[in-house]
Amino acid sequence: MSPAIIEFHNVVKSFGKQRVLDDVSVSFESGKTTVIAGGSGQGKSVTLKLILGLLSPDAGEILVNGRDIIRMKQRELNKIREKFGVLFQGSALLDSMTVFENVALPLKERTKYKGQEITQRVRQMLAQFNLEDHEDKFPAQLSGGMKKRVGLARALMLQPDIMLFDEPTTGLDPQITMDIYRLFFKSQKQFGYTSIIVSHDIPKVFNLADQVVLLNKGKMVTFSSPEDIPLSSDPQIVSFATETMGHIYSSRKMEHNI
């Protein structure tokens, strides 16, 4: 088992009267891909925002590399955030900037690289994501899949240790969805990042997972592999697996077991 890179200890988060996370304790392993799955409004994106320190929990601890990010000063939190890359649900590209400017932004703002060096690095990254012909376009001129690719290119520009994906394939057609997953495999192999993927693209997204965290009614349940989900003793989880994956589990490993 790999060491935990992110840990939640008894985390509670509520919005008004709705308790989104209820005494959640979970850990995300270093170098692995964890998929957080669950229905809409169950707190998947909230979990990512808590990891990033964009939201604070009402109670509990969130540790990144063993350090509690809740009680940290902004400067220290920024140091932690430098380790992260994020692909947002709507890509969150700055809409007044071109594709090139968006991808160049982290280099311009966070490194000492200048003009020609930035251009070279950005063009190299854009070529890897087949975006070299679109560098002068604005986000409004791009398709959903292209926006995701630009978002991913921007997130990977500074080679983060941990990548967070918030619904990376929502609203995309099946072919583009597969393209995004292929890009995920390719980029993870190249950059070697730990990844946490929030998605309800079940069961397809489980093909990416080393570890699965199911989120239901404020509670998180961890499975060391997707194949373990239908074998759970919890009837609610079995019901979730049946509804989302079908009666016959479709992974190869499971088929062999049967």
Q: Is 111 in the site for another protein (CB under 8 A)?
A: no
Minimal CA–CA distance to 7: which of 62, 79, 77, 84?
62
CB of 55 to another protein, least distance (A): 10
Query: Nearer to another protein by C-beta: 166 or 201?
Result: 166
Q: Is 105 in the site for another protein (CB under 8 A)?
A: yes
Q: Is 196 in the site for another protein (CB under 8 A)?
A: no
Among 8, 28, 84, 249, binds another protein (CB under 8 A): 84
Q: Is 88 in the site for another protein (CB under 8 A)?
A: yes
Interface stretch with another protein, choices 76-84, 120-128, 190-198, 215-223 (CB under 8 A)? 76-84
Query: Nearer to another protein by C-beta: 78 or 242?
Result: 78
Q: Is 125 in the site for another protein (CB under 8 A)?
A: no
CB of 154 to another protein, least distance (A): 8
Minimal CA–CA distance to 225: which of 203, 247, 244?
203
Q: Is 93 in the site for another protein (CB under 8 A)?
A: yes
Interface stretch with another protein, choices 83-91, 113-121, 208-216, 245-253 (CB under 8 A)? 83-91
Sign of CA dihedral 212, 215, 221, 227: negative
Q: Which residues have a Cβ under 8 Å from the Cβ of 99 and sit 6 or more positions away? A: 93, 126, 131, 134, 135, 136, 137, 138, 139, 142, 150
CB of 40 to another protein, least distance (A): 15
Query: Nearer to another protein by C-beta: 109 or 256?
Result: 109
Q: Which residues have a Cβ under 8 Å from the Cβ of 136 and sit 6 or more positions away? A: 98, 99, 100
Place of tokens 């990548």: 163
CB of 171 to another protein, least distance (A): 14
Query: CA gyration radius for the chain?
Result: 19
Q: Report the length, in residues, of the chain.
A: 258
Query: Nearer to another protein by C-beta: 109 or 189?
Result: 109
Q: Residue 231 has what DSSP assignment?
A: G
Among 59, 94, 178, 231, binds another protein (CB under 8 A): 94
Q: Which residues have a Cβ under 8 Å from the Cβ of 233 and sit 6 or more positions away? A: none
Q: Is 76 in the site for another protein (CB under 8 A)?
A: no
Q: Is 8 in the site for another protein (CB under 8 A)?
A: no
Q: For residues 228 and 212, give the distance between their C-alpha atoms in angstroms, rounded to a whole number.
A: 9
- Strand order from edge to edge, sheet including 4-15: 18-29, 4-15, 59-64, 67-68
Q: Is 60 in the site for another protein (CB under 8 A)?
A: no
Minimal CA–CA distance to 178: which of 148, 139, 158?
148
Q: Which residues bind another protein (CB under 8 A)?
A: 49, 52, 54, 78, 81-82, 84, 86, 88-90, 92-95, 105-106, 109-110, 154
